[in-house]
């Protein structure tokens, strides 16, 4: 006979690290909602495989459960995961500190345990645990991010505040273009390009963060998760599973790079993307596939003229639209592009039909700050899709 469920705030209800069997139980429970057309075996195989990535292995991913310590076998009342992410915090004077951020993912409560406050209790305890780590070892948990699919209120009540949820959205043609030849000055990017581009991106981002504010009285702290190779490979491993099952192959093209003539090697522009599949679960939502730009990089903003930027974006988007159409994507999303990129699409590339969207329900980027001061005084830099988990 199943014992009665405890109250969410009973002293025996605790946050614990799940063992492997409990981790698999959590996957089984979430599959009907998040399987997205994968069988249970395929879904669990994907999760097992993701544990072998550089981002997740060796303690990079921690599976958490809310459970009743007073019961016999631990019952999972709610569950989630955290992923350690390399990050940088910059003081107003440009001083950089390497820190660890924690991405919260896979927050799930099975139907029989819902409406009892368990998820809220779990998030409160998780926040306390991360705050304790930061207090004990500054930099070990400088901040945390998550991406809410249930609107802003629940997580904001637990201090994960929505920050920067604007994206550009582009339609996708029903059929891919007949030509597969990339535009002039465009290189299609594959796995072999990722390491060098990730290293260069990190170098550029550190330089950006290390530039002091012009206003010496500013107290704003800048924080950024680094778009490193481990993070990109985790995203692509996940995408590979989806496309193998639904297209019969893993993708060859991971993005596109523009090099201006003649050989402007320090004035490149590149975009990396991955496709994601939503819906198809127990809630009855229709299946939708979206191509998300993981990261868009303009290597030298000051030296890149508006015309060159528009040419670069047009070429990159031509490849992205082809890849999106081949995967039957409904749309393309580019999260939090700079004002200059937005202006290029609006003023010089209106034929791409980009529109500005403010997300208010799903994929809401949210940040909780564990360092000194208030989250209101933190600027989240490079808040793009590569951070999603």
Residue 321 lies in a domain: yes
- Please give the pLDDT value at position 1: 47
Residue 337 tokens, joined: 């592009």
Say which CATH number the domain at 225 has: 3.40.630
- Please give the pLDDT value at position 286: 75
Shortest CA distance to 101 belongs to which of 144, 67, 51, 62?
144
Alpha helices in 153-285 (DSSP H): 153-156, 194-209, 229-247
Residue 356 tokens, joined: 């500005």
Task: Give the global pTM.
Answer: 0.95
Residue 382 lies in a domain: no
Question: For a pLDDT cut of 70, what percent of the chain falls above it?
Answer: 97
Say which CATH number the domain at 49 has: 3.40.630.30
d(CA 225, CA 232): 12
Give the range of the structural domain holding residue 210, as residue numbers without chain letter.
166-359
Q: What is the pLDDT of residues 276-335, one digit of tens each?
A: 988 765 566 778 899 999 999 999 999 999 999 999 999 999 999 999 999 999 999 999
Looking at the fold, whether 117 and 250 belong to one and the same domain comes out as: no
Question: Are 72 and 35 in contact, with CB atoms under 8 Å apart?
Answer: no
Looking at the fold, whether 276 and 333 belong to one and the same domain comes out as: yes
Looking at the fold, whether 155 and 191 belong to one and the same domain comes out as: no
User: Can you state the angle between helices 40-50 and 229-247, rounded to 10 degrees?
Assistant: 160
Looking at the fold, whether 280 and 350 belong to one and the same domain comes out as: yes
- Please give the pLDDT value at position 120: 99
Domain boundary among 111, 130, 163: 163
Residue 212, CB-side half-sphere exposure with 13 Å CA sphere:
7
> Mapping DSSP to helix (H, G, I), strand (E, B) and coil, where does residue 366 land?
strand
Looking at the fold, whether 177 and 306 belong to one and the same domain comes out as: yes
Looking at the fold, whether 284 and 323 belong to one and the same domain comes out as: yes
CA distances (Å), origin 179, targets 162, 176, 259, 272, 290:
41, 9, 21, 21, 22
Question: Are 368 and 143 in contact, with CB atoms under 8 Å apart?
Answer: yes
Looking at the fold, whether 247 and 339 belong to one and the same domain comes out as: yes
- Please give the pLDDT value at position 280: 67
Looking at the fold, whether 315 and 351 belong to one and the same domain comes out as: yes
The number of helix segments (H) and strand segments (E) in the chain equals 8, 16
- Spell 33-66 as b/e; 16+ CB within 10 A means b: ebbbebeeebbbebbeebeebebbeeebbbbbbb
Residue 207 tokens, joined: 């330089």
- Please give the pLDDT value at position 283: 63
Range with the poorest average pLDDT among 124-138, 168-182, 243-257, 306-320:
168-182
Rounded mean pLDDT, 359-370: 98
Residue 5 lies in a domain: no
Looking at the fold, whether 190 and 294 belong to one and the same domain comes out as: yes
Contacts 24+ apart (CB under 8 A), 92-95: 92/212, 92/213, 92/216, 92/218, 92/219, 92/220, 92/221, 93/212, 93/213, 94/209, 94/210, 94/211, 94/212, 95/210
* pLDDT averaged over every residue in the chain: 95
Question: For a pLDDT cut of 90, what percent of the chain falls above it?
Answer: 86
Domain boundary among 120, 139, 163: 163
Q: What is the pLDDT of residues 146-204, one digit of tens each?
A: 999 999 999 999 999 999 999 999 999 988 887 778 898 999 999 999 999 999 999 99
Looking at the fold, whether 150 and 227 belong to one and the same domain comes out as: no
Shortest CA distance to 385 belongs to which of 145, 88, 130?
145
Domain boundary among 123, 143, 163: 163
Question: Are 345 and 309 in contact, with CB atoms under 8 Å apart?
Answer: no
Looking at the fold, whether 110 and 228 belong to one and the same domain comes out as: no
> Mapping DSSP to helix (H, G, I), strand (E, B) and coil, where does residue 36 land?
coil
Looking at the fold, whether 71 and 111 belong to one and the same domain comes out as: yes
- Please give the pLDDT value at position 287: 80
Q: How many domains does the chain have?
A: 2
Whether pLDDT at 380 is above 80: yes
Residue 379 lies in a domain: no
Residue 376 lies in a domain: no
């Amino acid at each position: 006979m199943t014992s009665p469920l405890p109250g969410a705030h009973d002293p025996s209800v605790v946050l614990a690290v799940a063992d492997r069997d409990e981790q698999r139980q959590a996957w089984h429970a979430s599959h009907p909602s998040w399987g997205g057309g994968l069988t249970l075996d395929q879904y669990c195989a994907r999760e097992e495989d993701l544990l072998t990535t550089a981002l997740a292995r060796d303690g990079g991913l921690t599976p958490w459960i809310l459970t009743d310590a007073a019961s016999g076998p631990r019952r999972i009342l709610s569950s989630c995961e955290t992923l350690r992410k390399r990050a940088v915090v910059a003081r107003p004077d440009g001083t950089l500190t390497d820190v660890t951020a924690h991405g919260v993912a896979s927050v799930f409560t099975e139907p029989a345990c819902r409406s009892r406050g368990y998820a809220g209790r779990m998030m409160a305890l998780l926040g306390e645990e991360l705050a304790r780590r930061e207090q004990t070892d500054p930099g070990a948990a400088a901040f945390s991010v998550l991406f809410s699919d249930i609107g802003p209120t629940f997580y904001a009540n637990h201090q994960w505040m929505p920050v920067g949820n604007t994206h550009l959205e582009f339609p996708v043609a029903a059929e891919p273009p007949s030509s597969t030849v990339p535009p002039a000055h465009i290189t299609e990017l594959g796995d072999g390009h990722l390491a060098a581009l990730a290293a260069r991106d990190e170098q550029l981002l550190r330089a950006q963060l290390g530039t002091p504010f012009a206003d010496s009285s500013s107290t704003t702290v800048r924080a950024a998760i680094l778009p490193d190779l481990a993070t990109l490979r985790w995203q692509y491993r996940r995408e590979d599973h989806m496309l193998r099952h639904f297209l019969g192959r893993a993708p060859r093209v991971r993005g596109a790079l523009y090099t201006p003539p003649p050989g402007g090697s320090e004035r490149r522009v590149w975009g990396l993307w991955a496709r994601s599949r939503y819906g198809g679960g127990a809630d009855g939502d229709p299946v939708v596939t979206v191509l998300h730009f993981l990261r868009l990089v303009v290597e030298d903003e000051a030296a890149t003229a508006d015309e060159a930027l528009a040419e670069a974006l047009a070429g990159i988007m031509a490849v992205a639209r082809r890849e999106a159409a081949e995967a039957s994507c409904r749309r393309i999303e580019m999260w939090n592009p700079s004002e200059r990129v937005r202006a290029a699409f609006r003023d010089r590339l209106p034929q791409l039909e980009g529109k500005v969207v403010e997300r208010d329900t799903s994929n809401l980027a949210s940040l909780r700050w564990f360092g000194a001061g208030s989250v209101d005084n933190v600027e989240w830099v490079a808040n793009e899709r590569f951070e999603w988990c």
